[in-house]
Structure 1
């Protein structure tokens, strides 16, 4: 017993010595005296402190810290900004050209007021425009399959840039006056939009995941600021920031519509298409010259095929775990599979994201109005020298203004106050904003129908023909601007969040494919819009706008009721990313945290 007692005392003595900091002197009671009485000791990294709630810097926070500490994001790596610039150039080209398609198709061949076009009228223009939008959001699936299974994101983007380049050449050359004189305009346009559709679709499904791939952190980490405040570096916030900046660059590029409508009006369509083609070449140059700067993940072979096989097993067994090797072994399934349980969990997370995307076509129906029927509506108003397709720029301008306000002021302030606007809540707000947009458009249309000279038949009555020109109804075109502001706000909340959700919920090897499924919802929206072409005419525009507005607000309530619980498990969904590489917390945290 004496020996045991002595051993115990020795162990306690040794443990006590380990707890006393080096360089300290002891008092008579066995305690230690600090060399500087005013010096504050930091034991936040000790095991005892960690158990009490203080995790060491760089480590993953515990549950208590996740509930109480403020969360921030990190700054983007330089390679992410390079990819954003490439997307800016591509969107400059896409919007600068496609924003003119409504007029290009509808304007008379011998138009003396505006630039001569293909002379097919407004309804045909809306129909062809909607087909183009639909096609551009079907082709991302092809781009994703080529990327995820065969080439990887970067090589797939380069391939589809080449396809896009060919389409732009055809569009430009067949819009030349000589080509129109030879009746090559319409066939050239149709061939061009199909080729451009393949090109832009292949780029879209890969460029958004590629920019997020540049950020490597997968789990939360603690960081202590200079002020002493302990914060959490949250990858979810960083991904939100990545796609906010990405979308901001998209809309900066779309400001090409400031220039191209005037080029169309005063110099002809071919000059605008030529400028878009030249800017696209700048994007390709940046993509090639900086190719060694990007983080590029190799393709994963038959990963998409494997995903569909696993999905088939789930459906056949009516059990979401039926594709797991562990489940199959427990239920006597002897046929081996090439994936593991973790892959099935990731696939289930992706399926949950796809369920959320089911409601997106309603949003895209409303969104699609701004490049089709809103252009027609603007043409019915007094532009005072401003081209009717110029008004689309207010959508981009509103996004350029409100995105940094939300990212740098609103969201940080809400997080500091302990209010978290999770993805489902943001998407719901997006549906509300698009409903307000369409409701306002109906009001504007009502104003047009109550103004002369043609009232409910804008541009079509005899009173509108004055001195060889056709006068619109006497409503100032600026009245339409708030509708574009509303659609811009809707995009920030719903479209940006969709990009973010598609990336963060997809398995690492299927990022492009899940992104393409998200983009595919736009194709469904275009198909629904195509069905509305029959009522996209005077005097039925009011009812079309009102109907879509009503459908959007109903969707907002139904969507939130069905999926609001997903926000409560948002943090848990990132647990699956633990197997991905985690960077040490050496990168600079966002400016808002440094400022505080």
Structure 2
């Protein structure tokens, strides 16, 4: 059996907190593994844009009376439509065709979709500047560009598809790789990256003004594509690593348990479940 260490938080009540060597190793490994979630900081910026740049872009285009913050609803609409298609059509079809669409491939594709969304926004912003009566000061212009604001759906749709691959896989990784008593902690560490993205977005919002709005979209697109390639290279064997971690964790649970004891425990579990 594994030796347990103890520490007393309260000298009066003598309330101990105990741990095993395997639990210490699990937590150390967990914090190291969570470093991979830092890649989602860039994806979040691709997904939501820097500050209100996407909303401002829609406002400088012809919307025929539709509010410029209306188009971000297509992000949620795309997710609701895409998830069932992926779960019940695309993934079963790939499995039937014996195509191993690994987790790292899903994340890579999601990052690339987010980068493509930002690149589309950069191209649209360039076209807005080219067609606006005020040129490179289109955001504050009284007359909008003749380009229709419905082009914004492309960005929101691509980023939403990226979420379907990136976020669902990240939640799966967070749940699978975390120890049983630290799943909430790992999920919190993953969501903390959204807070970092929001802080970056707020920090640079003052600089997001005409005539330089093309470059934020271009920079995020380049950073997103670079992160996608780096992630693919670094975590190419991610599925094998996860399988090994799960196997080691299961083995650690069975240390010191004889076959007879294991059979007795299994019989007890079955009787309780009945």
Q: Give the TM bin, normalised by the shorter chain.
A: 0.7 to 0.9
User: Paired residue for 1:553?
Assistant: 225
User: Paired residue for 2:36?
Assistant: 356
Alpha-carbon separation, structure 2, partners of 1:497 and 1:428: 11
1:407 is aligned to 2:87 = yes
- 1:399 touches 1:492 (CA, 8 Å); kept in 2? yes
Counterpart secondary structure, 1:474? strand
1:313-328 alignment, distance < 5 Å: 325=3
CA RMSD, Structure 1 to Structure 2 (Å): 2.7
Cα drift, residue 566 of structure 1? 1.7
1:451 aligned residue (94, 112, 131): 131
1:225-240 alignment, distance < 5 Å: none
- 1:375 touches 1:389 (CA, 8 Å); kept in 2? yes
Q: C-alpha offsets along residues 12-59 of structure 1, whole Å, 9 cap, x if unaligned?
A: xxxxxxxxxxxxxxxxxxxxxxxxxxxxxxxxxxxxxxxxxxxxxxxx
Q: C-alpha offsets along residues 504-541 of structure 1, whole Å, 9 cap, x if unaligned?
A: 21111111111111111111222222343243111111
Alpha-carbon separation, structure 1, partners of 2:78 and 2:51: 16
Alpha-carbon separation, structure 1, partners of 2:133 and 2:61: 11
Cα drift, residue 396 of structure 1? 1.2
1:99-498 alignment, distance < 5 Å: 325=3, 338-369=18-49, 372-458=52-138, 460-461=140-141, 464=142, 471-498=143-170
User: Paired residue for 2:189?
Assistant: 517
Alpha-carbon separation, structure 2, partners of 1:459 and 1:366: 20
Cα drift, residue 420 of structure 1? 2.5
User: Paired residue for 1:568?
Assistant: 240
Alpha-carbon separation, structure 2, partners of 1:529 and 1:325: 48
User: Paired residue for 2:260?
Assistant: none
Unaligned runs of 5+ in 2: 5-15, 255-264
Cα drift, residue 569 of structure 1? 2.7
Cα drift, residue 384 of structure 1? 0.8
Cα drift, residue 548 of structure 1? 0.7
Counterpart secondary structure, 1:384? coil
Against the structure 1 CA distance between its residues 337 and 389, is the aligned structure 2 distance closer, same or farther, given a 3 Å change threshold? closer
Cα drift, residue 368 of structure 1? 2.5
Against the structure 1 CA distance between its residues 417 and 352, is the aligned structure 2 distance closer, same or farther, given a 3 Å change threshold? farther
- 2:111 touches 2:224 (CA, 8 Å); kept in 1? yes
Higher alpha-carbon deviation: 488-497 or 411-420: 411-420
Cα drift, residue 477 of structure 1? 0.8
Unaligned runs of 5+ in 1: 1-323, 327-335, 465-470, 585-596
Cα drift, residue 460 of structure 1? 3.1
User: Paired residue for 2:180?
Assistant: 508
Cα drift, residue 472 of structure 1? 1.9
Q: C-alpha offsets along residues 542-576 of structure 1, whole Å, 9 cap, x if unaligned?
A: 01100110011011111111111222233233332
Alpha-carbon separation, structure 2, partners of 1:325 and 1:372: 55
Alpha-carbon separation, structure 1, partners of 2:30 and 2:135: 51
Against the structure 1 CA distance between its residues 347 and 517, is the aligned structure 2 distance closer, same or farther, given a 3 Å change threshold? same
User: Paired residue for 2:261?
Assistant: none
Against the structure 1 CA distance between its residues 537 and 370, is the aligned structure 2 distance closer, same or farther, given a 3 Å change threshold? closer
- Using the size of structure 2 for normalisation, the TM-score is 0.80
- 1:439 touches 1:546 (CA, 8 Å); kept in 2? yes
User: Paired residue for 2:209?
Assistant: 537
- Using the size of structure 1 for normalisation, the TM-score is 0.38
Which structure has more relative contact order (CA 8 Å, sep 6+)? It is 2
Cα drift, residue 450 of structure 1? 1.1
Alpha-carbon separation, structure 2, partners of 1:499 and 1:372: 27
How many residues get paired? 245
Cα drift, residue 418 of structure 1? 2.4
Against the structure 1 CA distance between its residues 428 and 352, is the aligned structure 2 distance closer, same or farther, given a 3 Å change threshold? farther
Cα drift, residue 370 of structure 1? 7.9
1:14-93 alignment, distance < 5 Å: none
